[in-house]
Structure formats: structure tokens, C-alpha cells
Chains A and B, each alone.
Chain A
């Protein structure tokens, strides 16, 4: 039996990534995701004025700064028990959806599908079509995605001034009111995007695709000439020919914090969402309401000052303790829900919110790399529809306030959390204020859940587990690992204390 340990490097993951894997006869039997950049955002926030988090935290991540801004503002509003005007929530949602559409399209067509153009597939019957669609800077979809994602971000700029890295959500609302000019400009963007999505990605009307409710309906629909010629059809045909619908399930448990605050119902206890969140227990098959009190982070295999077991983020600490050459191997912490290893992302979001097609596909085939990627493309459509709803609601309520300035005495000390669904999944900011400044700030990002290392009990993280059993043909060019890891939409820069590439620490076999 040939047993080798290799470091597999990956690009196109928002930061570089190294995964240490052990292969036996070409099959992954052990895996460790290594994060080797430490930036210390949580320390930078300590001692600062609370509102400064609206400037500092978007800069955790270049691709999902709107989500960080949203989480940061919700945390302060919870502490100060502020009412949030419905129009402010609508504008926040609209911008988060625009950022989400940007992410879902870029992840799919700039990061995931370029792998289909690998020389290894040159003999595949679909190869010519794959190249014509997906080849970087040449393929039609790659080029059009650059154009369309540029366009959709205009929506964020209309309300936030710029994307990325603005600070237009503040405790009490947003800084810009809706008006006819902005709403119509955003509408034009959405209309253009929808037309493109229908023509190029679906090959069918959006409503028809969103109405598909079962695996049987989907597979019949994919056979029809329009959808078969679309980018989604091509992606499905190719990835399924590689058996990606049988690979990379990872942990069976999923978490969603709930997508988009409900503008009409948002207020204490701050848990009303347009798409409800929760925890899906992969063993029982049941979805239960989210209990954020069950979230805890372990550092047993991380380069932080050790503590025993897991700690809730309100008790969390982030004290670097860089110890290369030990069995600790990453700057990522290991978040757990109770003692469960969970995954998060569009699959979790849509499943938990009850999307019938996603639920039926999951029931029929289980979780997989294909289903994660498929869910991401579907979520782009959900966001297109929801974003239009936000515009229509804003138009119907133009005269309502967009900002209610908090009274000075409202800005009390205390604890609060802001939980949102970022493009990559569940994102939480847990904040403690004392003497009017930040006493503690803990961030748990979606990639922290997905790319987590082992916990105190030695349980692997989701990605690590998703790789076990995968056959790798050429460790120097691990294209299979690329497909699988990129299907998780990894954001290495987004792990806060976990960034970019590192080296696997060799363990005695």
C-alpha cells in the first residue's frame, strides 16, 4: 500500500489555501485544512468606539463586507434595543442580496467552472462546449460574469456609495433614503440581470425554474432544449458525469441563521427572517429552531492560547499562541453547534428555509459537491426575486423613515449578537460593550464553520471530512480536490484569524 502525505495548494478560493492530505493508493484517508495568516481583527476592535465596527469589520473580507456590516449593526442594535425602520431593513436586504448575487455568480463562473477547462478533460464529449462557455477571459460565461457582477454591485453603490467596504448601515438605520431615482436605477440593473440569467444560465423563465419542486421535475426539465443549452444545464451534465453528486457530502448537519431580516417584524427579540433559519440534524433529519447559545469554539488544534473544550463567543478569547511543530496546525478555530460539526452555505440556507426542490434532491441523493454548487446557482435566482420585492416595497413606502437616530442614553453597555446569512453562510458577530467601548468582539464566519480544524474531541471539520475517500489522480495537480473544495465556496480571507496558505505539519502515520 502506497501511503503518502502531500500538501495540496489551491488558488481561486479568496486567498490561497493549503490542505494537507494523506493518500493511500491515491485515496484521501486523512485531511487537514491549514490557515496560516493571522490578522487579529478582534483585538483591533477592543477599546474602540462601538460604531467603529461599521468601518473596521467590513474590511475582514473583500467579497462579503456588506454581510459583516449588517452583522455588526445588528449586534449594536440588539445591545441598545433599537427599533429599526422597515425601509432601513429593506435597503440593507437589497444590498446584501446584490452582494450575494455577485458572490454566487463570481464563485460559480470565475472560481468553480474554470476547472472544467483542465486539459485532463480534453477528451470529454462536452469539452468544446465547456471551453466555449467557461474558459477564463475567453469563454462567454466568464466574460459575461465579469460584466454582470460589475453591474449588480451598482445597487450597493446607490445606497452605500461604493462596493466594497462602505459603512452605510448604522445603528438606527441606513444613511440614504430611497427615492425614485435610486429605485429605478436599481430596477434597471435587476431587469438586465434577470434577462441575462434567464437567457444564459437557465435557458428558461425564472418562475418556471423556481417552481420546480422535485428531483424528477428537475431532471426532466434539464432535458428540454432550452435548459440543456444553458450554463446550468451544462454545469449539471458535466459535474454529474464526474459523479460529483456522489462526492464530498462532508458533515450531514447544517446551520442557517435565517436569511434577511423581515422588514415588518424586525425588532426584539430580533429573530424574524424572510427565509427562516435553524439547525438541520443530519441524524434525525429534523430542522429545529436556532439556539445561538449552543454555538461554541474550540482551539485544541489552533494556534491560540489553549482552553478546555469549547467556549461560547461571549466567553471567547483570541490570544495568539503560534506553536508550529506541535499537533496544532491552523489559525482557524473550530466552531461547533453543541458538539455537532456543521456545514453552512446556500445549501443549508435553502434546505432549512424549506425549498422543496433542494429538499427533494437532498432526500434522493444526499448532500454532495454538486448539490452545494447547484444550490448556489438557485439562490442567485431567489435573490433576484427577493431584491425586486424590496424595491417594490420601498416604492410603496417612500415616505417612511430610513434612519432613527438613537438617543444618547440608549447607548448602554451590554452584550449582543448580529447573525446574518452571508453569501457563504452563517456569519455571527458577538459583541460586549463596557464603559462605552468595545470590551470583546468575536466573529465566527461561514468559512470558519466549513473549514474548521478538529475540535477537542478530535472530530474533523466539514471540509476535512468531505475529502475523505476522494480519489486523487495527480497530487501535483489535484483537480478533483479543486472541484470539491471550491464547491464549498471557500473564503480564506474571511476566517478572521485564518487566512491563506500554510504548510501541513507532518504527523507520525
Chain B
């Protein structure tokens, strides 16, 4: 059995609620058939808080083994580096996270807040929030870039706001089985971060032919005018649908790039910044001059049914 302790720091609880929507596996299946033994979760545990306090004490003193520590929420360091804007029994949560992490086999940042700082670290960052091992895109957060957990791994960043339910449960099932995980340069598991949101978006045909919406509520692509970050954001949103049925971009909500360290961007989230006619941020790895040439050709080739936006996304 792999023991798991879930700690909430500066959080909204969204990752805890999102994980309840996982089906393959579900949270229940993690416990019943993937060998995860839940020591504590703030919303799901039914023991008295006395039990929680004893658990922390036993983990810290080495009497209780801790295989997986999940942290949900930004690491709040204000005021003046004390972390007391987020405390438990007078102690900074930041310190509790630190002392549990050094005992843990692996540490998993559940969501963009714990990974990179997240929405609470948005300008002007009133709580001086950081991530566990990153400060936005900068390596080094609560822990230095070279920090490693007992199993020799950096903090595993299951990024997302909230993290995708299956990115959470599948990562946990894999770790509980003791299997190796490959990580990207931001320490996100490659299994869930080797796909861009754009892949599988049902508005792709509009993107392909450069048929763009200028206002929300339409059928066409949201990338060129409405701020969609789908082509440059790594996440499984369109290949493993949310709540089993859809995704933001399918529904017509631009992707805000919530698995990225710079989420949320400082500028207008519903507008695409452009140089001339071309978006400032292009799909991952695309070269600007070639992109312009390609799009001009594509637009010229667009079939009438796409130009007329007859196709339902």
C-alpha cells in the first residue's frame, strides 16, 4: 500500500473537487484497487482533527511512512516571508508543507497553484505566493531547483486550474504502483503533458482555414482574436474530455493556458495580442513567416461551408 497525505495550502479546493469527477480511475478506485491508502484528505477524511495532528507528528518523527504527499494550493509566504497569511494552529502552512515533504517518497503539486504559484500569484501577488519548486516560470520555489524527495524525484507538477481529473488520478495510480514517470522541463508528467489543448478541439477545421470569431458565442476558432491559448498549452483537455463530455474550447470558452507557469497572464484574457495581423504568441514551435504564408493560403482554400460557419463545433 502507498500512503497518501493531501495538504491544502492557499487553495480554493478546486483540485479536490475536480478529482471527484475522475472515472478512470476514480478516487474510490485509487483506494479500492490501486493500493492507495488515504491517510488524510481535508474534505474526505472523517476522523477528528486530533487524528490529523497526530498523523503529522508521526510522519515528521519518522514513525509513519509517507509515500505520496499531495499539495493543493499556492505556498503563501507573506507577510515578510513568515507564511503566516496561511496558518494552522499558529504555524505557517508553508512550514508544515516543508516538513512533510522532506519525509515523503514523492511530492505531487496538485494544480497550478502548488506547482507555480497560480492565480493567487497574479499581479500584485498580495500573498507573496510561490509554487513548491517554481516561482511562476522561474525554477526554485519553496524548494530549490535541485531538491529531491526520498524517491529521488523533483516535485511532480500536475498543473492545471484545476488539474485535469485524470491527470491527477492516473499520476497517483502510476506512482502508487512504483512505476517510473518521465517529466517535461517544468516537471510535469509527460503522459499528460505531451498533448496540446488544440489537439482534438472541435473548432480545428476553423483554425485550419483561418476562419476566426471576433466575438464570443460563435462557432469558429478562438485563437486569433479571443485569446485562446489552446495551440500553445500542453494539457489533455481535448483528448480526455472534462466530466466525460466536453472541454472549454469545444464549448466556446478560450483556453487560458491554465497548465502554464504564467497563468493567469497579466493582459486581457479574452484578447489575442498581435503584431500586425499575426498573433504575438504562435502555436508551439511555429515560425512566424511560414505561419503567415500558410494561413494566407489556407484562408484562400477555405470551403464555403467553413467560411459561412455552418459547421457545429
Q: Which residues on A are within 8 Å of B, measured CB to CB?
A: 7, 9-12, 14-16, 18, 36-40, 43-44, 47, 49, 51-52, 54-56, 59-63, 65, 106, 110-111, 114-115, 117, 136-137, 143, 146, 149-150, 153-154, 156-168, 170, 172-177, 179, 185, 320, 322, 324, 331, 402-403, 405, 476-479, 493, 499-503
A9 touches B127 (CB 8 A): no
- What chain B residues lie within 8 Å of A476 (beta carbons)? 48, 50
A146 in contact with B26 (CB, 8 Å): yes
Chain A residues within 8 Å of B52, by CB: 9, 11
Q: A174 vs B243: C-alpha distance in the bound complex, in angstroms? A: 19
Give the docked Cα–Cα distance between A322 and B128 (Å).
14
B87: Cβ under 8 A from any A Cβ? yes
* Contacts A49-B268, A65-B12, A501-B88 supplied; 7 other A-B pairs, CB < 8 Å: A38-B78, A149-B20, A173-B217, A177-B217, A500-B93, A501-B89, A503-B90
B124 CB to closest chain A CB, in angstroms?
6
Question: In the complex, A172 Cα to B216 Cα: how many Å?
Answer: 10
Q: Which of A40, A153, A166 has the most CB of B within 10 A?
A: A40
Any chain A CB within 8 A of the CB of B308? no
Measured CB to CB, the closest approach of chain B to A358, in angstroms, equals 28
- The answer to whether B127 and A40 have CB atoms under 8 Å apart is yes
Q: List A contacts of B241 (CB < 8 A).
A: 157
B46 touches A153 (CB 8 A): no
Interchain CB contact under 8 A, B126 and A320: yes
A320 engages B85 (CB within 8 Å): yes
Does A37 contact B17, Cβ atoms closer than 8 Å? no
Counting chain B CB atoms within 10 Å of each CB, the highest count among A10, A47, A65, A163 belongs to A163
Task: From the candidates A37, A44, A477, name the one contacting B48 in the complex (CB within 8 A).
Answer: A477
Inter-chain contacts of A402 with B (CB < 8 A): 217
Query: B251, A160: Cβ atoms under 8 Å?
Result: yes
CA–CA, A10 to B48, complex, Å? 7
Q: Which single residue of chain A is at the shortest CB-CB distance from B14?
A: A62
Q: From residue B170, how far is it (CB to closest CB) to chain A in Å?
A: 16
Which A residues are CB-close (under 8 A) to B248? 160-162, 166-168
Question: Min CB distance, A39 to chain B, in Å?
Answer: 5
Chain B, range 34-50, C-beta contacts under 8 Å to A: 42-46, 48-50
Q: Kindly state the separation between the CA atoms of A52 and B264 in the bound complex, as whole angstroms.
A: 9
Q: In the complex, A14 Cα to B13 Cα: how many Å?
A: 7
- Check B120 against A39 for contact (C-beta < 8 Å): yes
List the B side residues contacting A60 at CB < 8 Å: 12
Residue from B52, B129, B237, B243 having most chain A Cβ neighbours under 10 A: B243
Tell me if B14 and A150 are in contact (CB < 8 A).
no
Chain B residues within 8 Å of A44, by CB: 119-120, 122-124, 126
Q: A61-B12, A150-B20 are in contact. Are A165 and B162 (CB under 8 A)?
A: yes
- The contact of A168 among B53, B162, B251, by CB within 8 Å, is B251
Sorted nearest first, the 7 A-B pairs with minimum C-beta distance are: A40-B126, A403-B217, A62-B14, A9-B49, A161-B251, A175-B252, A162-B242
Interface positions of B (Cβ within 8 A of A): 8, 10-18, 20-21, 23, 26-28, 31-32, 42-46, 48-50, 52-53, 74, 76, 78-79, 84-90, 93, 119-120, 122-124, 126-127, 129, 161-162, 215-217, 237, 241-253, 256, 258, 264, 267-271, 312
Shortest beta-carbon distance from A127 to chain B in Å: 15
Q: Which residue of A lies closest to B248 (CB)?
A: A161
Of B12, B20, B85, B264, which one neighbours A146 at CB under 8 angstroms? B20
Q: Is B42's CB under 8 angstroms from A499's CB?
A: no
* Residues of B with C-beta under 8 A to A56: 119, 122, 264
Docked Cα-Cα span, A166 to B20, in Å, equals 17
Bound-state Cα–Cα, A179 to B251, Å: 12
Minimum Cβ distance to chain B for residue A131 (Å): 12
> Is the beta-carbon distance between A37 and B252 smaller than 8 angstroms?
no
B119 proximity list for chain A (CB < 8 A):
44, 56, 59
* Cβ-defined contact, B13 with A55, below 8 A: no
* A15-B42, A157-B242 known; A51-B13 Cβ under 8 A: no
* Residues on the B chain within 8 Å of A156, using CB: 243
Q: A51-B270, A402-B217 are in contact. Are A36 and B87 (CB under 8 A)?
A: yes
Q: Using CB atoms, name the residue of chain A closest to B48.
A: A477
Contact A12 B10 (CB under 8 A): no
A159 to B312, CA, bound (A): 14
Residue with the highest number of chain A CB atoms closer than 10 Å, among B13, B53, B122, B124: B13
B251→A38 contact, CB < 8 A:
no
Given A62-B12, A501-B88, are A12 and B46 neighbors across the interface (CB < 8 Å)? yes
Minimum CB distance partner of B88 in chain A = A501
Residue numbers in A under 8 Å from B270 (CB-CB)? 49, 51-52, 54, 170
Listed A/B pairs (5) with beta-carbon separation below 8 Å: A44-B123, A154-B243, A162-B243, A179-B312, A501-B87
Are B242 and A163 in contact, CB atoms less than 8 angstroms apart?
yes
Q: Smallest Cβ distance from B313 to chain A, in angstroms?
A: 9
Tell me the bound Cα distance from A403 to B226 in angstroms: 15
Q: Which residues of A contact B42 (CB under 8 A)?
A: 11-12, 15-16
Chain A residue numbers with a CB within 8 Å of B215 are: 403, 405
Contact B253 A161 (CB under 8 A): yes
Contact of B49 among A11, A63, A403 (CB under 8 A): A11
Knowing A14-B43, A157-B245 touch, does A51 contact B253 (C-beta < 8 A)? no
